């Protein structure tokens, strides 16, 4: 994947005392693992939590988590180790990791390295020995907030709190420009299979006759691109902010709007081309792509108190009445007010009634706030890639 970022340098942690300090003055004490970050170069970011029981490597490498310190609710993280296949990008984008216990002896035939070593090689700091139930309860009650992590005997928790209070909120911050690819590229790889891993790909001869999907990269996950190919597309990836004229010059049969990090309200340079393309070419958006489509259709976005992050969120399809168990990762949501009369709400979150999907038959566009490419056990939402393919093929018929 093309959207690489420079990794932080620094020494490996060996169990030094470490702290997680929130802007509201709350401090948690634990032990460092992974990369060690001292007071001169602390970890900074928005503290959030994820309720997934596994998939930690995919989460760590998801560009949508740029700018965030991740706390897992599941008590043991690292049980299955890490490898070079279960990644969603070429880098670790999560700023730091907080767990109850970091497992040091993974048990899985695909593991090639421990979580500790995986983080250390990339300079990513982790903290363990913290009661993550208390952390999550605090974030649930007070809301996600800015935080600082550092370790070592010379670290003063009060200094970390002071630093956290100086950090800008996620509201008003554009992280897409840091994670999106910088140039156009093609994607030809298929989904992972046992034995072949991620090496399977289609030849140019097989791709040329397929409908052409142009994916706008705001921090796209590799499994999305694999599934677009798997369902029948040839895929070209373009940087966020590519103009509508440049996209149309690629002669797309459909346009895909990807996931990504940060505040969607800052992405006017992505929304404007999408608005220009509406009605001209079929569109499908996931997560941030859903929020971009919502804005292009006249809506707006707002920040959630603590966001939705996990693999067990129930969503109802308002057309069929069916409930899907979904993977989610977002701190912002789309408002229903202001949306074009050409657009209807297609999916609703059953936990808090937030909008989880939009659809416009007239504009040949639809989107979901959740992640159909992720598989927390169920594959409830995979049908959406086939829906996009059928929309594109039907439009060209």
In CATH, the number for domain 17-166 is 3.50.30.20
- Residue of 44, 22, 309, 310 whose CA lies nearest to 173: 44
pLDDT number for residue 11: 86
Helix axes 268-277, 288-296, angle to 10 degrees: 60
pLDDT digits (tens, 9 = 90+) for 290-340: 999 999 999 999 999 999 999 999 999 999 999 999 999 999 999 999 999
Catalytic residue selected from 46, 287, 324, 347: 287
Query: What single string gives the DSSP state of each residue in 2-67?
Result: ----PPP--PBP-S-EEEEEETTS-EEEEEEEEB---TTS-EEEEEEEE--SS-HHHHHT-GGGBT
pLDDT digits (tens, 9 = 90+) for 95-141: 999 999 999 999 999 999 999 999 999 999 999 999 999 999 999 99
Residue ranges, CATH 3.40.50.880, the chain:
176-396
How does residue 1 score in pLDDT terms, banded at 50, 70 and 90? low
Catalytic residue selected from 290, 308, 347, 371: 371
The structural architecture, per CATH, of the domain 176-396 is 3-Layer(aba) Sandwich (3.40)
State how far the Cα of 76 lies from the Cα of 85, in Å rounded to an integer: 21
pLDDT number for residue 8: 54
DSSP letter (8 states) at residue 252: -
SS3 149: strand
How does residue 397 score in pLDDT terms, banded at 50, 70 and 90? very low
Query: What single string gives the DSSP state of each residue in 262-287?
Result: S-GGG-HHHHHHHHHHTTTS-EEEET
State how far the Cα of 105 lies from the Cα of 128, in Å rounded to an integer: 15
- Taking the CA atoms of residue 237, residue 239, residue 243 and residue 247 in that order, the dihedral angle to the nearest 10 degrees is -10
State how far the Cα of 217 lies from the Cα of 2, in Å rounded to an integer: 10
Active site residue 373: yes
> Within a 10 A sphere around the Cβ of 377, how many other Cβ atoms?
11
Task: Express as a percent the part of the chain with pLDDT over 70.
Answer: 97
Residue ranges, CATH 3.50.30.20, the chain:
17-166
- Residue of 280, 313, 266, 331 whose CA lies nearest to 68: 331
List CB contacts of 284: < 8 A, sequence separation 6 or more: 254, 255, 256, 257, 365, 366, 367, 384, 387, 388, 391
State how far the Cα of 391 lies from the Cα of 389, in Å rounded to an integer: 5
Element housing 232 (H / E): none
Q: What is the mean pLDDT of the chain?
A: 95
pTM: 0.95
SS3 87: coil
Burial of 362 (0-12, 13-18, 19+ CB in 10 A): exposed
Element housing 211 (H / E): none
> Within a 10 A sphere around the Cβ of 316, how many other Cβ atoms?
18
């Amino acid at each position: 994947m093309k959207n690489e970022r420079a990794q932080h340098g620094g020494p490996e942690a060996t169990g030094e005392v470490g702290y997680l300090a929130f802007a509201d003055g709350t401090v948690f004490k634990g032990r460092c693992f992974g990369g060690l970050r001292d007071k001169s170069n602390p970890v900074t970011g928005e503290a959030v939590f994820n309720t997934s029981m596994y998939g930690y490597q995919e989460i760590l490498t998801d560009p949508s988590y740029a700018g965030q310190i991740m706390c897992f609710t599941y008590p043991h993280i690292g049980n299955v180790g890490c490898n070079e296949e279960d990644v969603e990008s070429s880098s670790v984008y999560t700023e730091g990791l907080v767990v109850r216990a970091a497992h040091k002896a993974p048990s899985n035939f695909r593991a090639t390295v421990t979580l500790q070593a995986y983080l250390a090689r990339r300079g990513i700091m982790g903290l363990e020995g913290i009661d993550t139930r208390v952390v999550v309860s605090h974030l649930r009650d007070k809301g996600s907030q800015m935080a600082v992590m550092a370790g070592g005997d010379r670290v003063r928790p009060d200094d970390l709190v002071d630093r956290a209070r100086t950090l800008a909120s996620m509201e008003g911050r554009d992280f897409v420009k840091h994670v999106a690819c910088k140039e156009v590229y093609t994607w030809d790889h298929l989904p992972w299979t046992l034995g072949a891993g991620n090496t399977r790909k289609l030849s140019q001869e097989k791709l040329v006759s397929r409908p052409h999907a142009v994916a706008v990269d705001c921090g796209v996950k590799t499994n999305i691109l694999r599934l677009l190919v798997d369902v029948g597309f040839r895929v070209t990836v373009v940087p966020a902010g590519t103009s509508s004229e440049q996209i149309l010059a690629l002669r797309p049969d459909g346009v895909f709007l990807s996931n990504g990090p940060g505040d969607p309200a800052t992405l006017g340079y992505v929304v404007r081309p999408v608005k220009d393309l509406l009605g001209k070419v079929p569109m499908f958006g996931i997560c941030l792509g859903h929020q971009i489509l919502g804005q292009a259709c006249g809506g707006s976005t707002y920040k959630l108190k603590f966001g939705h992050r996990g693999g067990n969120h129930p969503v109802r399809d308002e057309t069929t009445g069916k409930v899907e168990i979904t993977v989610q990762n977002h701190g912002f949501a789309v408002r229903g007010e202001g949306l074009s009369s050409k657009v209807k709400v297609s999916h609703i979150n059953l936990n808090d009634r937030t909008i989880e999907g939009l659809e416009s038959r007239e504009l040949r566009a639809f989107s979901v706030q959740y992640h159909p490419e992720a598989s927390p056990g169920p594959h409830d939402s995979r049908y959406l890639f086939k829906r996009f393919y059928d929309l594109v093929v039907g439009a060209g018929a």
